[in-house]
């Protein structure tokens, strides 16, 4: 439906809430009213008239003009609201509370006007600081021999083998254990033949201390607090028995290992490559640290109120997802995190707008593919499901926020501990990179569109004669049939 000219005014009720007052004359609403008459004419049965051909005056007599006006207003309101939002420039959040205060004449002469108000939460006004005045300090990058040896040790562990030993278990050993937990006289859990690395700290509190020093066939008992299941939080007595003790035997760090574990022929070449990898990882970590520092500084320097209704709606959705009631105390427990997340979103959205951040189709596709892998889903199924659920714009918004922080970081001076400039362009890109990517994508879209346009042109030429004839025939038939009914 075409946009309707509206007369609208906006009133600020609170810093994050506005009230729109919209007035639409009868003439401007008439297309919606005509549409309502047509729709009702298709639904009613009136002797002497075919469905869809009942005149407006008969509908007024049989159904009532009030029903027509109600139908027209209900259909027109969403579009009228959108037009008023566009005209006033407000940035709404969530659904508005609409109150129709005046409708066109329900009796007598046609005329009058539609007037309604819409109260809605709006985005807070945010003033961004001058990013060029920012200076962020990150660690200097120094790759030590110890860093390289740690990386090499991890690689050797991947190719290590477990060998049984006839001694007591020590930190780092792998043991096979049987467990039995009791609360009072009741056995609440038991496992057999579980493999565990001593010192991992991934099982019960006190487990590592209990196992250390035990040899195969030995048992001990310790007390711990259960962290899962129906008895979570209760004190339990746990009996653990070690069935076997194994240590990891690592391959020697020599040329043979380099050939086995990498594309290199010598251990020196492998060490050189590992040194380069460590350097890249440390630089990547610096980029992450710089990004986090920038966001933290923006949080501290930008103050604005949050729309309470929007926060409450987020908390309500969180509780519903957990199957909890709207008034569950957990709601207040997550309020702080909810407000922090919303504040970050507003800041990053403002950055994206101010920096004119654009998300290309290829970027969005790569993001969706990456997200599908995180969820362990087939990419096509994930994208189709996201599209049906209306989530694609949400993903695009999330990508824009992530990109906005990277683009903002380009405006900031980043130095290391010695005050030397740090180049993070390998991780945050550059404005030139973005411009080149945008041009490449625009060219690809244009190339893809050319064959479609040629196909459409040829289709129009072939079908134009038949289409015109069939259209005229249909119109003539309707006109002929409607004349007797109108009489």
Q: Dig out the tokens for 205 from the structure.
A: 């509190």
Residue 431's pLDDT is: 77
Q: Is 197 exposed, middle or buried (0-12, 13-18, 19+ CB in 10 A)?
A: middle
What is the C-alpha separation between 4 and 27, in angstroms, rounded? 10
User: In the Cβ-directed half-sphere of 457, how many Cα atoms lie within 13 Å?
Assistant: 6
Render pLDDT for 417-475 as a digit per residue (tens, 0 to 9): 889 999 999 888 887 777 777 777 667 767 766 655 555 555 544 444 443 343 333 33
What is the C-alpha separation between 29 and 271, in angstroms, rounded? 76
* Cβ proximity of 15 and 125 under 8 Å: yes
Residue 481's pLDDT is: 35
CA angle 432, 437, 439 (to 5 degrees): 95
Residue 456 C-alpha from the chain's centroid: 37
* φ and ψ of 435, to 5 deg: -65, -45
Q: How far apart are the first and last CA of the chain?
A: 31
The mean pLDDT value of the chain amounts to 87
Buried b (16+ CB within 10 A) or exposed e, 337-367: ebeeebbeebbbbbbbeebebebbeebbeeb
Q: Dig out the tokens for 168 from the structure.
A: 């007591």
* φ and ψ of 78, to 5 deg: -55, -45
Render pLDDT for 139-149 as a digit per residue (tens, 0 to 9): 998 999 999 99
The SS3 call for residue 464 is helix
For the CA atoms of 142, 146, 151, 152, the dihedral, rounded to the nearest 10 degrees, stands at 130
DSSP string, 345-363: HHHHHHHHHHTT----HHH
* Cβ proximity of 211 and 175 under 8 Å: yes
What is the C-alpha separation between 49 and 151, in angstroms, rounded? 86
Instruction: List, for the chain, all residue ranges whose pLDDT scores fall below the cut of 70.
Output: 1-6, 441-442, 445, 448-487
DSSP state of 421: B
């Amino acid at each position: 439906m075409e946009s309707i000219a509206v007369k609208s005014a906006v009133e600020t009720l609170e810093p994050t809430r506005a009230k729109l007052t919209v007035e639409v004359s009868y003439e401007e609403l008439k297309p919606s009213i005509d549409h309502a008459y047509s729709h009702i004419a298709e639904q009613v049965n009136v002797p002497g008239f075919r469905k869809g051909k009942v005149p407006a005056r008969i509908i007024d007599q049989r159904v009532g003009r009030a029903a027509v006006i109600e139908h027209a207003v209900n259909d027109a309101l969403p579009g009228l609201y959108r037009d008023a939002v566009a005209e006033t420039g407000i940035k709404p959040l969530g659904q508005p509370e609409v109150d129709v205060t005046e409708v066109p004449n329900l009796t007598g002469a046609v005329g009058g006007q539609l007037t309604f108000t819409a109260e809605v939460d709006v985005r807070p006004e945010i003033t961004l600081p001058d990013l060029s005045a920012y200076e962020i300090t990150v660690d200097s990058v120094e790759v030590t021999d110890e860093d390289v040896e740690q990386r090499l040790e991890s690689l050797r562990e991947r190719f290590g083998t477990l060998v049984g030993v006839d001694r007591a278990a020590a930190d780092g050993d792998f043991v096979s254990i049987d467990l039995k937990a009791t609360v009072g006289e009741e056995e609440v859990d038991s496992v057999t033949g579980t493999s565990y690395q001593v010192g991992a700290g991934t099982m019960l509190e006190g487990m590592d201390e209990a196992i250390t020093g035990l040899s195969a066939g030995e048992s001990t008992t310790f007390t711990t607090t259960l962290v899962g299941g129906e008895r979570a939080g209760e004190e339990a007595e746990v009996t653990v028995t070690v069935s076997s003790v194994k240590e990891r035997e690592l391959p020697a760090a020599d040329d043979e290992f380099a050939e086995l574990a990498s594309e290199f022929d010598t251990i020196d070449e492998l060490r050189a490559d590992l040194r380069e990898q460590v350097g890249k990882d440390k630089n990547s970590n610096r980029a992450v640290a710089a990004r986090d520092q920038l966001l933290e500084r923006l949080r501290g320097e930008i103050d604005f109120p949050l729309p309470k209704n929007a926060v409450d709606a987020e908390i309500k959705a969180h509780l519903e997802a957990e199957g909890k009631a709207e008034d569950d105390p957990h709601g207040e427990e997550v309020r702080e995190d909810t407000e922090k997340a919303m504040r970050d979103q507003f800041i990053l959205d403002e950055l994206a707008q101010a920096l004119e951040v654009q998300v290309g189709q290829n970027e969005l596709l790569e993001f969706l593919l990456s997200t599908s892998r995180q969820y362990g889903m087939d990419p096509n199924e994930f994208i189709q499901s996201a599209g049906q659920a209306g989530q694609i714009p949400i993903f695009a918004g999330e990508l824009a926020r992530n990109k906005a922080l990277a683009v903002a970081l380009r405006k900031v001076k980043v130095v290391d501990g010695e005050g030397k400039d740090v180049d993070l362009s390998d991780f945050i890109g550059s404005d030139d990179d973005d411009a080149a990517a945008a041009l490449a994508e625009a060219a690809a879209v244009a190339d893809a569109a050319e064959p479609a346009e040629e196909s459409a042109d040829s289709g129009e030429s072939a079908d134009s004669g038949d289409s015109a004839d069939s259209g005229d025939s249909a119109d003539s038939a309707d006109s002929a049939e409607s004349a007797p009914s109108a009489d």
